[in-house]
Amino acid sequence: DGPSCRAALPSFKLYMADLESALHYSLRVEATRPSVLSGAQLAAFKCYVATLVKYFPGRPSVQTYLQNLDSLERHFRGYPCGLWTIFHLLTVQAAQNEAESWGEVLSTMRCYVRNFFGCQECAEHFEAMAAKSMEKVASREESVLWLWSHHNEVNARLAGGDTEDPKFPKLQWPPPDMCPLCHKEELGVHAWVVPAVVVFLKAHFSPANIYMDYAE
């Protein structure tokens, strides 16, 4: 349920606290319940925020928040990006570990996405990819590469679509400027240099590459 509303009682006043509470609920809970906004939902969200920026007579701090929300287009990034990153980190850490349990990371991700990931369409796509090939993964390195190549499969599917942030286009990753050694051309066709990709992934998703400063 949403917040209670004093404005519903007979009153000659509107309460800013009620309005802010309703805004908080609609923006932070209700409208952003799907983990990925796309299509009609994305259009509705953008439209709602843009209208609030124009007409909501909020306190300066609330107006600034709405303006930031409007310009940040934060629905493009954030949680799903963090979830991919966590599982890339886990596959790489498990691959560095001598323990036998490296295989558990992919199956844990599959299980998590199937049971909890809020974007149902994404979860179905992921499950379809997992059902096709996840069980064929036979080594630590293959598990790192499975997640990398299937994340790229998702990037390819989303490239040019309405969830793509124009400032962060969906590229085949890592692009050549991040890892020149990861790319080659064979008879004019792009190919990955897989051993170089493995080296890159191990360095990129290593604890040493995690920036620990919480301040922006």
Only one residue has tokens 């199956």, namely 107
Six-digit token string for 203? 């360095």
Which listed range, 21-29, 45-53, 83-91, 184-192, lies at the site for ligand FAD (CB under 6 A)? 83-91
From residue 124 to residue 153, the character string flagging contacts with ligand FAD as x (rule: CB under 6 A) and all else as - is -xx---------------------x--xx-
Question: How many residues make contact with ligand FAD (CB under 6 A)?
Answer: 24
Strand partners, 168: 165
From residue 7 to residue 46, the character string flagging contacts with ligand FAD as x (rule: CB under 6 A) and all else as - is -----------------------------x-x--------
Q: Pick from 19, 22, 53, 83: which binds ligand FAD (CB under 6 A)?
A: 83
Separation in Å, CA 94 to CA 82, 101, 137: 18, 8, 14
From residue 86 to residue 125, the character string flagging contacts with ligand FAD as x (rule: CB under 6 A) and all else as - is --x------------------------x-------xx--x
Query: Minimum distance between the CB of residue 46 and ligand FAD, rounded to whole angstroms?
Result: 15
Q: Which amino acid is at 60?
A: P
- DSSP for 21-36, please give it: HHHHIIIIIITT-SSS
Contacts 24+ apart (CB under 8 A), 102-109: 102/139, 102/140, 102/143, 103/137, 103/143, 105/143, 106/130, 106/134, 106/137, 106/143, 106/146, 106/147, 107/134, 109/147
| Binding stretches for ligand FAD (CB under 6 A) | 36, 38, 77, 80-81, 83-85, 88, 113, 121-122, 125-126, 148, 151-152, 154-155, 158, 163, 165, 168, 173
